[in-house]
Amino acid sequence: MKIFGIGMMKTGTSTLGFCLPQLGYRHAPYTPKLLRQLMQGDTSQLAPYIAQYDSFDDHPWPMLYRWLDEQYPDSKFILTVRKDSETWFRSINTHAQRRGPTIERKLVYGYAMPSHNQAAHIAAYENHNAAAQAYFAGRPDKLLVICWETGSGWRELCEFLGHDLVTTPLPHANSSQGRTTDYQRWARNLGKYFLLHTLQKPRYSRRNLDKL
């Protein structure tokens, strides 16, 4: 069985990524290179990568849930969400301000930085959540919608995956609270963004994912 976290970034995906290994799953690390490959139409590494792990979160998986459901019929999906759209936007905007522009954010949302594009980001977030829930409607055994902020935790996760209840405290992983701007990361991300954007922009396309 494969478990795919299909929540957008900054919805508690890191917390999910901490929980799943505690339940015994081989959890895949965040691999932005795979997202860039898929956006360039290169799917050669997709199946081999999935074969190495049991569970996944963050991009590119939220963009692939229909294909994943077809290719891995025994899989389960977990949609992490925030308590409201504005909270999610503040979180992703704070994260971006601290780390700088990335080509991955540009590919997913259309913008490397969220700050002046709140409406577009919130629309993408809300549309994704609505589409995923509509797609899995009537199949509660396939999709769990979970919000750590409103009280969801080990009980919902363990029941959905068929595990005994874990009693250790639920972590709050990758929180931006109290963190300051990482200027070295900002500079690295900015340089990487301009390099990838300049050299490979013509090849990137969301349509490449629709061909899967």
Enumerate the β-bridge partners of residue 80: 146
- Please tell me the least confidently modeled range out of 23-37, 70-84, 88-102, 196-210: 196-210
Query: Which residue do the tokens 């979180």 mark?
Result: 91
Yes or no: domain 3-210 corresponds to CATH 3.40.50.620: no
Residues 19-31 have a mean pLDDT of 95
More reliable by pLDDT, 57 or 175: 57
Residue 202's pLDDT band (cuts 50, 70, 90): very low
Phi first, then psi: give them for residue 4, nearest 5 degrees.
-115, 120
What's the predicted TM-score (pTM) here? 0.88
- The secondary structure of residue 199, as a DSSP letter, is H
Distance from C-alpha of 4 to C-alpha of 27, rounded to nearest angstrom: 10
What's the pLDDT at 77? 98
Alpha-carbon distances of 126 from 6, 78, 121, 133, 182, rounded to whole Å: 13, 16, 9, 11, 29
pLDDT for the residue 86: 97
> What ranges do the domains of the chain cover?
3-210
Contacts of 148 (CB under 8 A, 6+ apart): 12, 15, 80, 170, 172
Query: Residue 109 above 80 pLDDT?
Result: yes
* pLDDT in the model for residue 203: 63
Per-residue b or e along 83-115, where b marks 16 or more CB atoms closer than 10 Å to that residue's CB: eebeebbbbbbbbbeebbbbbbbbbbbebbbbe
Is pLDDT of 24 > 60?
yes
DSSP-derived letter for residue 63 is G
Using left for φ > 0, alpha for ψ between -120 and 50, and beta otherwise, residue 168 falls in beta
